[in-house]
Chain A
Amino acid sequence: MSAHSVNWFRFASPASFPPLARALVPWFAIPSALLAAAGLYLGLIVAPADAQQGEVYRIIFIHVAAAWMSMFIYMVMAFWSAVSLMFNARLAAMMAQALAPTGALFTFIALWTGSLWGKPAWGTYWAWDARMTSELILLFLYFGYLALRNAIADARRADRACSVLVLVGVVNIPVIYFSVQWWNTLHQGATVSLTAAPRMAAIMLTAMLLMTLAAWLYTIAISLVRVQAIVLERERSVSWTGPAEASQ
Chain B
Amino acid sequence: MLVAQDLAAQRGDALLFERLDFALRPGTALFVTGPNGSGKTTLLRIVAGLTRAQSGRLTWDGIEVGAFDAALRAAALFIGHAPALKEELSAEENLALLVSLHGGSADCGALGEALTAWSLARQRALPARVLSQGQRRRVALARLRLAARPLWLLDEPTSALDAAGIDMLCEVVGEHLKRGGMALIASHQEFAPSAGTTHSLRLQ
Give chain A's interface residues, CB within 8 Å of chain B.
88, 153-154, 236-239, 245, 247-248
Contacts and interface: CB of A to CB of B under 8 A. Distances in A.
Interface of B is mostly: strand
B55 A239 contact: no
Interface string B1-20: 00000000010111100000
Contact of A248 (B12, B13, B55): B55
B15 A238 contact: yes
Interface in B1-59: 10, 12-15, 52, 55
B52 A88 contact: yes
Contacts of B15: 238-239
Contacts of B55: 245, 247-248
Interface of B: 10, 12-15, 52, 55
Contacts of A239: 15
B13 A237 contact: yes
Nearest to A248: B55
Contacts of B52: 88
Nearest to A239: B15
B41 to A, nearest CB: 15
Q: Which of A236, A245, A248 has the most CB of B within 10 A?
A: A248
7 tightest CB-CB pairs across the interface, nearest first?
A237-B13, A248-B55, A154-B12, A238-B15, A239-B15, A88-B52, A238-B10
A238 B14 CA distance: 8
B15 to A, nearest CB: 7
A248 B55 CA distance: 6
B54 to A, nearest CB: 8
A88 B10 CA distance: 15
